[in-house]
Structure 1
């Protein structure tokens, strides 16, 4: 059974005339360009810990197959704002699983996209834990309900946003939760 023990978060932006090259540059800025990335769905493993990007990267080797949850967005339109975010929600009980969510959008600031991704992860976790809430309430109100329940200990996010290049080059933004086995 393959269950990651550690997770780190990273983000990056790349700009290039070629779409694929701009993605590669975003991966480089995020520090994850030398791995064979496999995208997985959004479960934060029970008993896993979050570590810094630097600590996580020390445990990985070039060419290694590395699992991640990734949000990605790109644009070639001048001044078009794009964003990519990963949200995290962890239960108080470390033996339970948490949730990661990915969100990518146009026209949203990093804060708006990041909070949206955080809200998604927290809402998914809240529904599995049986926390009652009004889905029509604002995120900040629901966040307080989730945390006051005593069942959710932490929510957070990471987001990368960037404006489209004035010269028409591709701009790619990524955010990722990277698993370390």
Structure 2
């Protein structure tokens, strides 16, 4: 049985290269997680899991370690094509309850649009779990106000890597990740 993560950090990166796999590697390098054996997992932020800085999280990584993360990844070799990869996160006010992490990736959105969308996804999943009534067709800003006034959601955030496809047709890769860490609970 695997332990439950106690902390996480957010990171992102963009890589460009003639080979698709190398572009991905370069994006991982920019995100500072290239030395890990990454295992992607789904969307639950464990109870009492705290955010740490990227620098603090990276300092705990060991080369070759099996590292769990929620990752968004988009690639293109089409010149001028807009790509985006975002992680959204929503935490409940009650630290003993779980939160949500969403991944959103694709083409055509700006980084800001992608980040807002990912944050909205995570907050909407948490809100529905908490029984907060909201109009799913309302604009994100309107729903965010409903979530904040409920006092059941502590906060939400996002991180995004966005890029424009390389002019010469080389592969461009954008990644964003929430990387889980494990420490002993006291």
**Aligned equivalents of 1:45, 1:58: Cα separation in 2:** 21
What does residue range 24-35 of structure 1 map to in structure 2 within 5 Å?
24-35=25-36
Deviation at residue 26 of structure 1 after TM alignment: 0.2
Deviation at residue 180 of structure 1 after TM alignment: 0.4
Deviation at residue 139 of structure 1 after TM alignment: 0.4
Q: Deviations over 1:128-176 (max 9, x none)?
A: 0000001110000000001100100101100000000011100000000
**Aligned equivalents of 1:121, 1:77: Cα separation in 2:** 30
- Is residue 2:152 matched to residue 1:154? no
* TM-score, length of structure 2 as denominator length: 0.96
Deviation at residue 23 of structure 1 after TM alignment: 0.1
**Aligned equivalents of 1:51, 1:98: Cα separation in 2:** 16
What does residue range 98-177 of structure 1 map to in structure 2 within 5 Å?
98-177=99-178
Deviation at residue 109 of structure 1 after TM alignment: 0.3
SS of structure 2 residue aligned to 1:2: coil
Deviation at residue 123 of structure 1 after TM alignment: 0.3
**Aligned equivalents of 1:42, 1:7: Cα separation in 2:** 13
**Aligned equivalents of 2:162, 2:169: Cα separation in 1:** 17
**Aligned equivalents of 2:167, 2:134: Cα separation in 1:** 44
**Residue 66 of structure 2: aligned partner:** 65
SS of structure 1 residue aligned to 2:127: helix
**Residue 37 of structure 1: aligned partner:** 38
- Is residue 2:61 matched to residue 1:77? no
User: RMSD across aligned C-alpha pairs, in angstroms?
Assistant: 0.5
The structure 1 segments of at least 4 consecutive aligned residues displaced by more than 6 Å after TM superposition are: none
In structure 1, the gaps of 5 or more residues are: none
**Aligned equivalents of 2:95, 2:140: Cα separation in 1:** 24
Deviation at residue 122 of structure 1 after TM alignment: 0.2
Deviation at residue 58 of structure 1 after TM alignment: 1.1
